[in-house]
Amino acid sequence: GVPDPEVLLQGVEDDELFGPRGGRSSDTLRIERCHRTCTTCFSEEECTTCEAGRYLNEEGVCSDRAPVGFCLDCNGSLGSCDEDCRECTCENSSSCEVCGAGRLLTPDMTCRLECPAGYYINSTEEIGGRCVKCAANCTACLSSDICTECTMDSVLED
């Protein structure tokens, strides 16, 4: 049967077993082991609380990766990223690490439709692209080695 929610199982090292905390002698719960990322659980597959730095997802699994559009702080709490951002840091939700499709990660760690002047689009990113600074003597470029506009003291060569 399903264990009483009041009776949780406590996680321990892999080589140790444990039983219900606060259980009565008449309890017939099986002695099981929590997954190593749980601090308490209903079963090995279903955590009820997680170790620090992890959050409890909808499936009852402790994860160290936040879902798309969210960040995970060191306490295991989820925070929202800014719009158009797939991954961000919780210290600053507007500091994006990966943008959504069709958006570019700019040098100020925000997601935009275009790169600022002096930057080109590196579209090798899996989801959104990243704005990368042009070479020192370029004010506009198509890539790291294709300059389309030079600084005043440089000459564009064919």
pLDDT (tens digit, 9 = 90+) per residue, 135-149? 988 889 998 888 999
Tokens 């994860």 locate to 63
The token pair that represents 109 in the structure block? 């760690």
CA dist 79 and 94 (Å) reads 11
User: Between these two residues, 158 and 136, which has the higher pLDDT value?
Assistant: 136
Which spans in 19-98 are helix H?
none
Long-range own/partner contacts, residues 44-50 (CB < 8 A, 24 or more apart) = 48/8, 50/76
> Counting every residue, how long is the chain?
158
Percent helix / strand / coil, the chain, rounded to 5:
0, 40, 60
Distances in whole angstroms, Cα of residue 18 to Cα of each of 3, 15, 44, 46, 99: 15, 10, 12, 15, 44
The model's pLDDT over 38-97, given as tens digits with 9 standing for 90+, comes to 888 888 788 888 888 888 888 888 888 888 888 887 777 888 888 888 888 877 666 888
Query: Number of H helices and number of E strands within the chain?
Result: 0, 15
User: Between these two residues, 129 and 134, which has the higher pLDDT value?
Assistant: 134
pLDDT score, position 13? 38
Torsion of CA 131, 111, 56, 63, to 10 degrees: -10
pLDDT score, position 133? 93
Q: Are strands 129-133 and 104-105 parallel, antiparallel or unpaired?
A: parallel
pLDDT score, position 123? 74
The token pair that represents 57 in the structure block? 């997802």
pLDDT score, position 154? 57
The token pair that represents 62 in the structure block? 């402790």
Mean pLDDT of 127-133: 83
pLDDT score, position 106? 92
pLDDT score, position 131? 92
Percent of the chain residues topping a pLDDT of 90: 10
Residues contacting residue 152 through CB under 8 Å, at least 6 positions apart: none
